[in-house]
Amino acid sequence: MSNRVEAFLGLSAELTAFSRFDLLGTGLAERYLGTLDTVVGGEITDMLLAAFVALPPPEDGTRAQALRATILGSELLGDVARALIKLWYSGTWFELPYAWTQRFGPKSADATFVVSPDAYIEGLLWKAIGAHPAGAKAPGYGSWAYPPKIPTFPGSPTSKPDAVSVHPQNAGIMS
Amino acid sequence: MHTHSSIRTLDELQEILHGAMQLEHATIPPYLTALYSIIPGVNQDAAQVLRVIVVEEMLHLTIAANVLNAVGGTPDLTRPDFVASYPAYLPDGETDFEVGIQAFGREALTTFLKIERPATRPERLKAGNPLLHRKIPPHKTMLGSHPSNKELHFYSIGEFYAAIVDGIRELEGRAQREGQTIFTGDRSRQVTSEYYYSGGGELFPVVDLKSAIDALELIIEQGEGDGGGIYDDDEHELAHYYRFDELVKGRYYLKGDKPGHPTGPQLQVDWDGAYPIKPNLKVAEISDGSELREATIAFNHRYGEFLKLLTLAYNGQPSLLLEAVPIMFEFRNMMLELIRNPLPGHPGLNGSPTYEIGRDAAGPCVACQAGAVA
C-alpha cells in the first residue's frame, strides 16, 4: 500500500471513528481517495493528507485539538474533510458548499453523486446504526426480532449487548 | 493391501453418515470463500452459480443429518475433527486431490469440478470394491474414509455414497428378517421444509428404507447428475458439475444438451475479478495484534458457535435453524471484510476466513517473527 493510501486511511479512520480494518473491509478506500483526486484535485488532496501527517502523535493530548484547528477548522480543507466523512458514511459525494466554491473556485466534477453501487451498500452509516442498506445485504428472515448490533467506538461509555445472545433460547450458546 | 468396503454394523453406518456430514460440510467453506471473493459488479453469473450450489450443499448436510437421525444416530458438528483442516483431501481414484480455501478463479473451478464429478473405477478394478490406503499424513483431513479404519478410504465419493446406500439396504434387510428395523430414530428429530426455506430442494422426513434411499440419491444427483445426464432426476435442475462447467465453457446449458457441449446463451466470466486472498491462510500467519488477526479469530469463534447451534437443531430442536439464518448472513459480512483487507507482510495478498474451528488458539505469528513483516 502506498504512503498516500496509508495517510488517507489514517485520516479517514480518525475522521469517521471506524478502524482501518472496517474501512478496508468496504473495499472502497482507494476508490474514495481517487474520488477526492477527481473532484477537488490532487493538489488539495495532498494538502489534506499532509495536514494529517503533520498532526502531533496520537499519545499527545493536543492531537484532537490540532485536527480541529488545522483540518476541520481550515477554510480550504474543512469542507473537503466533511465531504469525505459524508462520503464514507453514505457512499455519496456531496457537492461542496457554495461559500467554498466562491472562495476557491468551482471544480468541474464537484456535483452530488453516488460513487458506485457498492459504495451505497458499504456506507458506514448502516454499520453505525446496526442496520442494513435497504435492498442489499439482507440480514435474513426473522432477523428483525433481534436488537440491532451497534459497534462500540472508542470513547463509548459501555459496550452494547451482543444482538443474538439476548435471545433466551440461545442464552449461553450464541454469546 | 485392500480390504472390503461394505458397511456391516449399525455403528459403522452411523459413523459413515457422520463422515457424509463432514464431507458435505467440507465443500461449503471453499465454495463460500470463492463466492465472497468476487469483486462487486463483476462475475454476477459466477456468483449466482456458486450461490445456488453452496445452498444445495447446506441442504445435503441437513439431509445427511436426517438419515443419521433416522437410524438412531446423534449428529455432532462440534467434534474436534468435524471441520476439515484445509487443504483437505478427497479421494479421486488412485490419486487424492486437494480441496483448499482460495479465491474464485480457474484453479478454484478446476477443484470444484473434481469435487462434483467423482472418479469412475475402471472395469478391471471393479471386483470387490476394495478400499485404498491413505497416502496423506495423519494431521491432514482425508474425506471419504472408512468408518472403522481411518487408514483406509473409498475409491471415490461415488463409491462412498454407494457403500452407504448398500449398507442401509443390507442392514435394514437383515433387521426386517428378524421383524425389526434400523429406522428407530425419533421422527421429531427430522428437519423438514417448514424449518428450511429456499434451501435448494425439498427436505422430507427420513423414516424408512425408501425415504432414506431417496434422500441419498438427491445428494448424489444434485452433485453429478442422474446416470450421466446433465440434469437431476426430475429434469428441473442442472447438476453442480455442469453448472461449474458452464462457467468454464462460458455458455449456459439448455435441456437436451450433451455433457460438455452447452448450446445456451453466452455468459461472461472475469477470471481476475476476485480479491487475491492467500490460499489456505492460517491465523498463525497473520501478524500479532493486527485487526485482521482479531477479526479472523472472531469469525472462527462465531463459526464454532454456529456449529453448536446446528448440532442442537439436528438433535430435536429443528426450529433453531430459523435462528441460524441471520448468523449465516452475518458470516457473509464478516467474510467480506476479511477478504477485502490486505494481509500484513504479504504485499498483493488479502486476508481470508481460515475455518480453524477449535484450532485457532495458535501461538504467535511465526512467519511474522521471522521478520516477514516490515
Grid coordinates of A93: 459525494
Contact A167, A146 (CB under 8 A): yes
Note whether residue A135 is domain-resident: no
A109 and A148 within one domain: no
Q: pLDDT-based confidence at B118, cuts 50/70/90?
A: low
Which CATH number does the domain housing residue B149 bear? 1.20.1260.10
B41 touches chain A (CB under 8 A): yes
Q: pLDDT-based confidence at A141, cuts 50/70/90?
A: confident
Mean pLDDT of B296-313: 95
B333 and B291 within one domain: yes
Note whether residue A133 is domain-resident: no
Note whether residue B160 is domain-resident: yes
B115 and B60 within one domain: yes
Grid coordinates of A80: 473537503
Mean pLDDT of B214-238: 75
Q: Do A170 and B309 touch (CB under 8 A)?
A: yes
Contact A33, A8 (CB under 8 A): yes
- What residues make up the domain containing A121? 3-128
User: Which is nearest to B80 in space by CA: B139, B14, B165, B168?
Assistant: B139
Give the SS3 label for residue B151: strand
pLDDT top residue among B133 and A81: A81
Q: Do B309 and A139 touch (CB under 8 A)?
A: no
Domain boundary residue among B249, B274, B295?
B249
B300 and B194 within one domain: no
Note whether residue B18 is domain-resident: yes
**Residue B188 pLDDT:** 93
- What residues make up the domain containing B291? 283-372
Question: pLDDT averaged over chain A?
Answer: 88
Residue A18's H or E segment, with its range, is none
Question: How do residues B258-268 score in pLDDT, each as one tens digit?
Answer: 888 999 999 98
Q: pLDDT-based confidence at A170, cuts 50/70/90?
A: very low
A100 and A67 within one domain: yes
Mutate to test the interface with B, among A18, A132, A173 (most CBs of B within 10 A): A173
A111 and A30 within one domain: yes
Q: Report the distance separating Cα A169 and Cα A76, nearest Å.
A: 55
Q: pLDDT-based confidence at A168, cuts 50/70/90?
A: very low
Mean pLDDT of A84-105: 97
Mutate to test the interface with A, among B292, B337, B339, B352 (most CBs of A within 10 A): B337
Q: How many domains does chain A have?
A: 2
Q: How far apart are the first and last CA of chain B?
A: 51
Mean pLDDT of B160-170: 94
Q: How many domains does chain B have?
A: 2
Q: Do B329 and A137 touch (CB under 8 A)?
A: yes
**Residue B365 pLDDT:** 56
Note whether residue B116 is domain-resident: yes
B294 and B238 within one domain: no
User: Which is nearest to B58 in space by CA: B255, B331, B317?
Assistant: B331
- Sign for the CA dihedral angle at B22, B25, B31, B37 comes to negative
> What percent of chain B shows pLDDT beyond 70?
88
A167 and A107 within one domain: no
**Residue A129 pLDDT:** 93
B322 and B237 within one domain: no
- Selection from B6-20, B93-107, B225-239 with the highest mean pLDDT: B6-20
A154 and A122 within one domain: no
**Residue B194 pLDDT:** 80
B287 and B245 within one domain: no
A18 and A78 within one domain: yes
Q: pLDDT-based confidence at B321, cuts 50/70/90?
A: confident
B194 touches chain A (CB under 8 A): no
